[in-house]
Amino acid sequence: MSDLVLSATQMEVKRERSAIGSLRLVQTACILVIALVIISPLFMLLVASLKDDRFQILADMGSFRAFWVSNPTLSNFAEVGNLSGELAYGRYLLNSLIILAATVGAGLIVNSMAGFVLAWGSLRGRALILSLVIALYVIPQESIIMPLVIMVSRAGMTDTFAVQIIPWVASPLYIFLFYQFFAQLPKELFEAAEMDGASVFRIYRSIFLPLSLPALATVSILMGIEAWNQYLWPILVTQTDYARPIAVAIATFFGQDSIYWDRAMAASVLMMLPILALYLAFQRWFVSSFVGSAVKG
């Protein structure tokens, strides 16, 4: 009797195992199809950027040659990467890099300091400030952009780097992310340092900041993507090439009648590289800390 039952379960297990095996196969096939859909446009971009003939690029689009380049050349990159010249994107790329570095750098300092004081400070209005910061998160950038343009143009700030950096340094989301990260660290850290007579800034600077690598990485990636990909704000506040970022330059180029696809593709590839590097450097910490705090609130 018990033998019978046992063999029945064994058979069931066996059947389930083979079912799992074929399920794995189907799942792997699905993932490969999705990967193809997601990656092939990017791959096509890369391949096209290596072709020198802009008419050929469009002609190739209709066939599998869109994914193949017989004699790859870096001439598009050489042309586009220049600092001067008609289609030189090096300058815009440099502008974007300056804006990216300054925004993220200042943002890490300003937001982490605020998050730290909100988590561990002794200010009386702390809880109130925290709830205000959280409430501000609801305001979308798009709905303050009109008055902001007036404000910065009255202040004579149009066409500068500052106007593309300073307004986006402080952010409710990143203050909150830092607050959350600091608040979950053990109180003994703070108390022990305080006993030793360390000042608040000292405790932040030498103890909490070095421990907050995951938060710093997450905020760097998020702020980096945001700063790098800004489009609406820079078209409203830049009129000349002086501080224009690469996103606006590529889009302007797109509006022209005869598009130099080869150069556009090369410029696009160049635009992907810095943010890709940032992502690859920090992704280890990014997923766990960003998502953990975002979903669980």
Partner 1 sequence: MTLQQPALPATAVARPARRRDRGRLFQEIGMLAPAVVLLTIFLVVPFLLSFWTAMTNQPLVPRPTPVRFIGLTNFLRILKDDLFWTSLWNVSRFTFWVIPVQCGLAFATALLLHQKLPFRNVFRGMFFLPAITSMVVVCVIWGTLFQYPTGPLNQILGFLSAGRIQPIDWLGDPNWAMFSIVLLSAWQAYGFQMIVYLAGLQGIPDELYDAARIDGANAFQRFWHVTMPGLRPTHVFVLVITTIQAFKLYTQVAVLTQGGPKSSTETVVHYMVRTGFEEQKLGLASAVSVILFLIVLVIALLQRQLLRRFDV
Q: Under rule CB under 8 A, which residues in 119-178 are in contact with partner 1? A: 119-123, 126-127, 129-131, 133-134, 136-140, 142-151, 166-170, 172-173, 175-176
Cβ atoms of 165 and 103 within 8 Å: the answer is yes
Q: State which residue, 88 or 181, has the beta carbon closest to partner 1.
A: 181
Cβ atoms of 227 and 95 within 8 Å: the answer is no
Shortest approach of partner 1 to residue 276 CB, angstroms? 7
- When asked if residue 217 is in the footprint of partner 1 (CB under 8 A), the reply is no
Q: State which residue, 88 or 179, has the beta carbon closest to partner 1.
A: 179
Cβ atoms of 243 and 95 within 8 Å: the answer is yes
Shortest approach of partner 1 to residue 122 CB, angstroms? 5
Give CA–CA dist 269/45, Å, rounded.
7
Shortest approach of partner 1 to residue 257 CB, angstroms? 14
Give CA–CA dist 108/113, Å, rounded.
8
Instruction: Give me the half-sphere count of Cα atoms (radius 13 Å) on the Cβ side of residue 120.
Output: 26
Shortest approach of partner 1 to residue 97 CB, angstroms? 13
86-115 footprint of partner 1 as x/- string (CB under 8 A): -----------------------xxx-xx-
- When asked if residue 232 is in the footprint of partner 1 (CB under 8 A), the reply is yes
Which of the stretches 2-10, 73-81, 84-92, 228-236 binds partner 1 when contact is defined by CB under 8 A?
228-236
Q: State which residue, 173 or 215, has the beta carbon closest to partner 1.
A: 173
Shortest approach of partner 1 to residue 81 CB, angstroms? 16
- When asked if residue 275 is in the footprint of partner 1 (CB under 8 A), the reply is yes
- Phi/psi class of residue 262: alpha, beta or left (left: φ > 0; alpha: ψ in -120 to 50)? alpha
Q: How many residues does the chain have?
A: 297
Cβ atoms of 115 and 179 within 8 Å: the answer is yes
Contacting partner 1 (CB under 8 A), which of 77, 89, 190, 282? Answer: 190
Shortest approach of partner 1 to residue 242 CB, angstroms? 19
Which residues, numbered 36-75, are part of the site for partner 1 (CB under 8 A)? 37-39, 41-42, 44-45, 48, 57-58, 61-63, 66
Shortest approach of partner 1 to residue 101 CB, angstroms? 17
Tokens of 149: 């343009």
| Three-class secondary structure of residue 243 per DSSP | coil
Contacting partner 1 (CB under 8 A), which of 87, 101, 183, 207? Answer: 183
Long-range Cβ contact pairs of 222-226 (< 8 A, separation 24 or more)? 222/173, 222/174, 222/290, 223/103, 223/104, 223/107, 223/108, 223/171, 223/174, 224/100, 224/104, 224/275, 224/278, 224/279, 225/275, 225/279, 226/168
Give CA–CA dist 282/286, Å, rounded.
6
Q: State which residue, 183 or 207, has the beta carbon closest to partner 1.
A: 183
